[in-house]
């Protein structure tokens, strides 16, 4: 989105020691790269140099994004177990038909590829609960952090730091707490309750999948919302106070509307990331119990890689469908951010 | 503070508890919420760290003790092995510390370390172990020696460092081209970058695998390093920043007979340091934590990165939580340290760019 | 050092033509100033010469060699930007040596040249500072120093003094003149400021709407403006332009304009007066006085008198025009030379 830190002096805000090291090695690199690049410029002329600068990145994009998209589409309409497209027989829309072949779309069991539909159902459930919880908690946290409390920086850091953790680490931390003889069950039994086998009960497993995701990522969204809150000028509140507006009404009529653009961005980002969720949930529950927390991406991953028979065609078709959904969501996001920027 | 005169109810509610004013219920609620937050956010990590120092036996205890504890032992004259120490409530109600020789059914044979000659028979339920705090450092050292944990650490380091360098170089080059020049096909290139923004690697896993196979990278670290090196977010972030560099500087450099490459390397790159630093931190974070793609492409154990190794361990070593916990801490530690030092920088970078 | 030749230079941005055919030839060692109203294309012309903009048509020769298609970095010119464009991450020394490094000059030679330029510009004490730690005047001198060390074929300046305060401007202007005398390079200088133009230039090029209105020495332009535009543009306060009508000769009956500079309007006896004016405003500058007056039909007339004046607003004053200093312009605005027999004063 928009503006970063703007100071074109020495990189004062950056870690200066690291910057010094980088400049040092950059200078050495310069001595190495300058003569050949100068020769290139002499050869093709200064006006064509932008293509040279663009080239490496485009090669990477081409090899690892554009080409794979094409291959993926080819995969989705070809069969067999071969990886190389030319060795795969054309099967038309068979994979799509198989994925979409359902007695009733409300009943995963009635579908030919019931695992896919279970994944879709789980992802939907996950997405809905996670969106509500994420927005609610990050909004409340942002509102609280926006008050001039003592140690605001510390508290902001506290909520933020799990964002940086590896999903695997996050999942293991919670797995350790939620296991049968874990901390939570110890607390429960000490309080006179019964042990609960959280990962054996489908409902609990989904609850913790959502909980852990919110735990890990809410700091990020809190930051975005906090930035939005801090951009609301103070005198707006003071004016409202002079008018004798009641607190709830101020929140409803001033804070919320002015924060709305940020809130919208958060909503869409959470949505996009929920639809793609995999890592944390996979390590936390393994998709279980049974298939209770198996998400669409896990379905794609298993179908293509983890199953005995690697079915790239089916996985390809499923990812094309997922890609279509993400495409629409991202368009919405771009539209919203552009509107916010202007 | 400007609003001294207006310490009304509302501003207290929405903004602040000002100095001197008495505590409003919303202040109490705020601090309570934050305290709970600290517990919920820090607690699990602290628990992980504490647990990682427990011996396997201590890990099996239920309910678990808060701190890593181990049973104390004493050497007693006449016994070759050190004996476990217990606190025993005697029949007369007095409490003595005795070492246990052996246990037979519900009766334990104990000996007083001060009078090693005489054994005492005590019902087993009359004794409680004497414990002291003990850090099971071997949880950390064993994996390093036994499971080649250092190799995973090194793999992760190599991937993170090399990938971040490549990302910084090629993304800044592209951003430079897209911010400083006007050229035919520029909007097409921009469109391509935006396009890739929408394609997470999750949905093109198999085809990327194919490409990587064809390039001969499977089961080498390059397979993880290269595919994610060109990031659209990085290009955007840097371009946005480079657009704010005055055009005069570029033209001055041209008048100074600098080649276009030199302008990039000597003028634009140094001036983009703040943005480069933000991207570097992001890239380190992405690479250190990356999971799904390495999981798919790194099948040989020798090339596993930390997250993959951790995941494999939790599959294989269900019972060996003590190692798993310690390795989780090791994985988390670098990130925690980076965060501790660059907290302000990272949060402002993220708040300003809206990416992670 | 070198001469410059522009032939038929045109520059369009999309549909708008900014330069509409510029022909100009500049001799080696000459100091040429471009003046003209804002937006007339001065900067564009300078950037075209520099190679920072491509031309739509026409060609550019430096020292007899065509450079039209050559990139800026290959033309061997140096430019001082209005914003100075100092590299903020480099010290003064690095700023000045950057170009020399780019040219692959040996380290010792670079140091020698930078030191020489720094001495010339009184920058020796600041060589290790970054631009942010310099005053406006010092930055300006660094920008000039960056050009000097290069020993370029031609120096280009785009309003280099416009960011300085009035006093510093005057001082730097004198230094620039001294500098040109000392190093004698070919210099092309864009400015808004008439005094800069008059004092610095060997020749002034007056631009308007993408065309050259007149080229000449400062006094040429002042004494013999080729047209109404130049007449009105050069000189401060502006030349008085009085609408008249030709009464004799072939073109009798057509509209014309009579020009007279404020210093050439003299108060006089009623009997020999050309006009009688009423004073609207008196500006006393101490050494001279400006009288802003209106004549018949409310025609404004500015008068410059030496010394101080006792006249006041509302006074009525008979004035006469110095016959040797009348400028006559025909209906198309071009100067009439030799002067056709002219009219009476406005009626
Ligand atoms: N990149 C561009 N695209 C379109 N029009 C431009 C561009 N650059 C300049 N122009 C137009 O060209 C005309 C001349 O601009 P130029 O900068 O040369 O004026 P100038 O004489 O230097 O004015 P000033 O004295 O205000 O600096 C202006 O009308 C300007 O709007
Ligand atoms: Mg200009």
d(CA B30, CA B37): 10
Cα of first residue to Cα of last residue in chain C, in angstroms, is 55
The binding-site residues of ligand 1, defined as CB within 6 angstroms of any ligand atom, are: C 13, 16, 18, 36, 38-44, 192
Min Cα separation B272/chain C (Å): 10
Task: Say if residues A307 and A219 touch (Cβ distance below 8 Å).
Answer: no
pTM (2 d.p.): 0.79
Could you give the number of structural domains in chain A?
Answer: 1
The reported pLDDT for the residue numbered B5 is 40
Banded model confidence at residue C48, pLDDT cuts 50, 70, 90: very high
pLDDT at C231 over 50: yes
- From the list A9, A45, A47, the residue facing C88 with the nearest CB is A9
Min Cα separation B259/chain C (Å): 7
pLDDT, tens digit, 9 for 90 and up, residues C65-105: 999 988 888 888 999 998 899 999 899 999 999 999 888 89
- Domain range holding C65? 4-223
d(CA A277, CA C259): 82
Contact B263/C at CB under 8 A: no
Neighbour tally for B231: CB within 10 Å: 24
Per residue, what are the HEC states of chain B?
CCHHHHCCHHHHHHCCCCCCCCCCHHHHHHHHHHHHHHHHHHHHHHHHHHHCCCCHHHHHCCCCCCCCEEECEECCCCCCCCEEEEEEECCCCCEEEEEEEEEECCEEEEEECCEEEEEEEEEHHHEEECEEECCCCHHHHHHHHHCCHHHHHHHHHHHHHHHHHHHHHHHHHHHHHHHHCCCCCHHHHHHHHHHHHCCCHHHHHHHHHHHHHHCCCCCCCHHHHCCCCCCHHHHHHHHHHHCCCCHHHHHHHHHCCCCHHHHHHHHHHHHCHHHHHHHHHHHHHHHHHCCHHHHHHCCCHHHCCHHHHHHHHHHHCCCCHHHHHHHHHHHHHHHHHHHHHHHHHHHHHHHHHCCC
Banded model confidence at residue C250, pLDDT cuts 50, 70, 90: low
Task: Say if residues A37 and A30 touch (Cβ distance below 8 Å).
Answer: no
Min Cα separation A41/chain C (Å): 11
Task: Give C42 Cα–ligand 2 centroid separation in angstroms.
Answer: 6
Which of A7, A9, A45, A48 should one mutate to test binding to chain C, selecting the residue with the greatest count of C CBs within 10 A? Answer: A9
Is there a domain that residue C146 lies in? yes
Is there a domain that residue C197 lies in? yes
Banded model confidence at residue A311, pLDDT cuts 50, 70, 90: confident
- From the list A8, A9, A46, the residue facing C71 with the nearest CB is A46
d(CA A342, CA A335): 11
Give every CB contact of residue C112 below 8 A, 6+ residues apart in sequence. Answer: none
Q: What is the CATH number of the domain that holds A127?
A: 1.10.3720.10
Is there a domain that residue C93 lies in? yes
Is there a domain that residue A62 lies in? no
Give every CB contact of residue A32 below 8 A, 6+ residues apart in sequence. Answer: none
- Residues found in chain B: 356
pLDDT at A5 over 60: no
Q: Report domain B69-133's class.
A: mainly beta
Is there a domain that residue A21 lies in? no
By most ligand atoms within 8 Å of CB, the mutation choice from C12, C20, C35, C42 for ligand 1 is C42
A174 φ, ψ (degrees, to nearest 5): -80, -35
By most ligand atoms within 8 Å of CB, the mutation choice from C22, C36, C40 for ligand 1 is C40
pLDDT at A12 over 50: no
Task: Say if residues A58 and B192 touch (Cβ distance below 8 Å).
Answer: yes
Q: Which ligand is nearest to the CA of C45?
A: 1
| C149 interaction partners in chain B (CB closer than 8 Å) | none
Closest CA to C85 of C128, C146, C38: C146
Closest CA to C235 of C248, C251, C250, C219: C219
- Residue with CA closest to ligand 1 atom 19: C39
Is there a domain that residue C330 lies in? no
By most ligand atoms within 8 Å of CB, the mutation choice from C10, C34, C44 for ligand 1 is C44
d(CA C324, CA C322): 6
Q: What residue segments make up the domains of chain B, in order of their start? A: 25-68, 69-133, 139-353
Between CA B172 and CA B180, with CA B174 as vertex, the angle to 5 degrees is 90
Could you give the number of structural domains in chain C?
Answer: 1
Neighbours of ion ligand 2 (CB under 5 A): C 43
Q: Which of A16-30, A205-219, B203-217 has the lowest mean pLDDT?
A: A16-30
Min Cα separation C48/chain B (Å): 12
d(CA C250, CA C261): 27
Banded model confidence at residue C248, pLDDT cuts 50, 70, 90: low
* One-character DSSP codes across C249-275: STTTTSEEEEEE-GGGEEE--STT-SE
pLDDT at A342 over 70: no
Closest CA to B40 of A159, C314, C11, C102: A159
Whether residues A223 and B343 touch (CB distance < 8 A) is answered with: no
Tokens 């983009």, residue?
B272
- Residue with CA closest to ligand 1 atom 2: C13
* One-character DSSP codes across A210-275: HHHHHHHHHHHHHHHHHHHHHTS-HHHHHHHHHTT--HHHHIIIIIHHHHHHHHHHHHHHHHHHHH
What 8-state DSSP symbol labels residue C238? P
Is there a domain that residue C25 lies in? yes
Task: Say if residues B283 and B168 touch (Cβ distance below 8 Å).
Answer: yes
pLDDT, tens digit, 9 for 90 and up, residues C21-32: 999 999 999 999
Whether residues A301 and B275 touch (CB distance < 8 A) is answered with: no
pLDDT, tens digit, 9 for 90 and up, residues A254-287: 888 888 888 887 888 888 888 888 888 988 888 8
d(CA C100, CA C116): 14
d(CA C274, CA C294): 13
d(CA C227, CA B100): 119
The CATH H-level superfamily of B139-353 is MetI-like (1.10.3720.10)
Q: What is the CATH number of the domain that holds C216?
A: 3.40.50.300
Banded model confidence at residue A216, pLDDT cuts 50, 70, 90: very high
Is there a domain that residue A70 lies in? no
Low-confidence ranges of chain B (pLDDT < 50): 1-8, 16-20
Percent of chain C beyond pLDDT 70?
94
Cα of first residue to Cα of last residue in chain A, in angstroms, is 11
* Chain B CA closest to residue C88: B271
- Domain range holding A254? 95-341
B131 φ, ψ (degrees, to nearest 5): -125, 155
pLDDT, tens digit, 9 for 90 and up, residues A53-72: 999 999 998 899 889 888 88
Integer angstrom CA distances of residue B185 from B178, C23, C120, C280: 10, 35, 47, 62
Cβ-Cβ contacts under 8 Å between A and B: the total is 369
d(CA C223, CA C213): 15
pLDDT, tens digit, 9 for 90 and up, residues C144-183: 999 999 889 899 999 998 888 888 889 889 989 998 998 8
Strands C186-190 and C31-35: parallel
Tokens 């993408």, residue?
C210
């Amino acid at each position: 989105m928009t503006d970063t830190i703007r100071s074109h002096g020495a990189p004062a805000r950056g870690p200066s020691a690291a910057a010094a090291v980088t400049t040092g090695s950059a200078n050495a690199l310069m001595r190495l790269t300058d003569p050949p690049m100068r020769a290139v410029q002499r050869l093709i002329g200064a006006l064509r140099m932008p293509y040279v600068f663009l080239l490496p990145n485009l090669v990477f994009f081409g090899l690892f994004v554009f080409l794979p998209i094409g291959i993926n589409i080819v995969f989705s309409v070809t069969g067999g177990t071969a990886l190389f497209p030319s060795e795969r027989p054309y099967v038309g829309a068979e994979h799509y038909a198989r994925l979409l072949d359902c007695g009733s779309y409300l009943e995963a069991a009635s579908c030919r590829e019931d695992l896919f539909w279970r994944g879709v159902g789980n992802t939907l459930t996950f997405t809905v609960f996670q969106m509500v919880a994420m927005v609610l908690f990050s909004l409340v946290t942002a509102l609280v952090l926006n008050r001039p409390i003592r140690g605001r920086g510390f508290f902001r850091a506290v909520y933020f730091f799990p964002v940086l953790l590896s999903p695997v680490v996050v999942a293991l931390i919670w797995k350790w707490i939620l296991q049968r003889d874990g901390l939570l069950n110890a607390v429960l039994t000490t309080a006179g309750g019964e042990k609960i086998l959280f990962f054996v009960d489908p409902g609990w497993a989904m609850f913790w999948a959502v909980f852990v995701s919110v735990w890990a990522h809410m700091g990020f969204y809190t930051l975005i919302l906090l930035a939005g809150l801090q951009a609301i000028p103070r005198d707006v509140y003071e004016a409202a106070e002079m008018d004798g507006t009641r607190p709830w009404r101020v929140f409803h009529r001033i804070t919320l509307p002015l924060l709305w653009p940020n809130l919208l961005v958060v909503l869409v980002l959470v949505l996009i990331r929920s639809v793609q969720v995999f890592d944390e949930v996979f390590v936390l529950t393994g998709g279980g119990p049974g298939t209770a927390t198996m998400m669409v991406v896990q379905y794609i991953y298993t179908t293509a890689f983890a199953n005995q028979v690697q079915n790239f065609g089916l996985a390809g078709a499923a990812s094309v469908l997922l890609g279509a959904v993400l495409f629409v969501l991202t368009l919405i996001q771009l539209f919203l951010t552009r509107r916010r920027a202007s | 503070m400007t609003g001294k005169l207006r310490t009304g109810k509302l501003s207290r509610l929405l903004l602040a508890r000002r100095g001197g004013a008495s505590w409003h219920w919303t202040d109490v609620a705020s601090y309570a919420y934050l305290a709970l937050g600290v517990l919920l956010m820090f607690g699990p990590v602290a628990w992980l760290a504490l647990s990682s120092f427990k011996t396997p036996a201590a890990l099996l205890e239920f309910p678990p003790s808060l701190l890593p504890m181990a049973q104390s032992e004493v050497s007693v004259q006449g016994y070759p092995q050190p004996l476990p120490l217990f606190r025993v409530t005697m029949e007369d109600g007095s409490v003595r510390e005795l070492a246990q020789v052996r246990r037979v059914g519900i009766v334990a044979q104990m000996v007083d370390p001060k009078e090693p000659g005489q054994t005492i028979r005590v019902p087993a339920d009359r004794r409680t172990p004497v414990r002291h705090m003990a850090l099971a450092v071997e949880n950390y050292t064993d994996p390093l020696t036994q499971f080649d944990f250092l190799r995973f650490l090194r793999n992760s380091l190599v991937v993170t460092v090399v990938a971040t360098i490549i990302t910084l170089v090629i993304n800044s080059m592209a951003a430079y081209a897209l911010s400083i020049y006007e050229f035919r096909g520029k909007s097409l290139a921009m469109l391509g970058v935006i396009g890739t923004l929408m394609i997470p690697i999750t949905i093109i896993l198999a085809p990327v695998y194919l490409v990587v196979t064809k390039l001969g990278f499977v089961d080498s670290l390059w397979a993880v390093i290269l595919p994610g090196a060109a990031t659209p977010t990085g290009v955007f972030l840097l371009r946005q920043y480079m657009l704010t560099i005055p055009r005069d500087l570029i033209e001055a450099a041209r008048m100074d007979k600098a080649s276009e490459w030199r302008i990039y390397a000597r003028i634009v790159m140094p001036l983009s340091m703040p943005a480069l630093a933000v991207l570097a931190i992001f890239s380190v974070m992405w690479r250190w934590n990356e999971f799904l793609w390495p999981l798919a492409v790194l099948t040989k154990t020798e090339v596993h990165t930390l997250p993959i190794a951790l995941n494999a361990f939790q599959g294989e070593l269900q019972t060996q939580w003590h190692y798993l916990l310690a390795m989780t801490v090791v994985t988390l530690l670098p990130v925690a340290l980076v965060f501790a030092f660059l907290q302000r920088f990272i949060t402002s970078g993220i708040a300003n760019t809206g990416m992670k | 050092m070198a001469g410059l030749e522009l032939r038929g230079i045109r520059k369009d941005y999309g549909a708008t033509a900014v330069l509409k055919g510029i022909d100009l030839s500049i001799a080696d060692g000459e100091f040429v100033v471009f003046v003209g109203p804002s937006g007339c294309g001065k900067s564009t012309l300078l950037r075209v010469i520099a190679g920072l903009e491509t031309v739509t048509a026409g060609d550019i020769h430096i020292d007899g060699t065509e450079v039209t298609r050559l990139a800026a970095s290959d033309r061997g010119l140096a430019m001082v930007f209005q914003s100075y464009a100092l590299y903020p991450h480099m010290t003064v020394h690095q700023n000045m040596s950057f170009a020399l490094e780019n040219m692959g000059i040996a380290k010792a030679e670079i140091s020698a040249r930078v030191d020489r330029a720094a001495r010339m510009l009184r920058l020796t004490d600041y060589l290790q500072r970054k631009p942010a730690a310099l005053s406006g005047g010092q930055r300006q001198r660094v920008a000039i120093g960056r050009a000097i060390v290069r020993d370029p074929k031609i120096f280009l300046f785009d309003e280099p003094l416009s960011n300085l305060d009035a006093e510093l401007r005057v001082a730097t202007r004198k230094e620039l003149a001294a500098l040109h005398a000392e190093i004698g390079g070919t210099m092309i200088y864009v400015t808004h400021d008439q005094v800069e133009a008059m004092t610095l230039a060997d020749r002034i090029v007056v631009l308007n709407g993408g065309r050259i209105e007149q080229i000449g020495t400062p006094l040429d332009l002042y004494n013999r403006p080729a047209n109404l535009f130049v007449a009105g543009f050069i000189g401060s306060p502006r030349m008085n332009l009085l609408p008249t009508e030709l009464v004799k000769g072939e073109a009798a009956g057509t509209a014309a304009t009579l020009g007279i500079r404020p210093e050439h309007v003299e108060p006089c006896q009623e009997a020999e007066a050309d006009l009688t004016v009423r004073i609207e405003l008196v500006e006393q500058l101490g050494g001279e006085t400006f009288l802003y007056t209106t004549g018949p039909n409310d025609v404004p007339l500015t008068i410059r008198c030496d010394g101080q004046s006792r006249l006041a607003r509302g006074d009525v004053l008979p004035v006469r025009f110095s016959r040797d200093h009348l400028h006559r312009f025909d209906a198309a605005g071009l100067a009439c030379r030799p002067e056709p027999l002219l009219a009476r004063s406005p009626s």
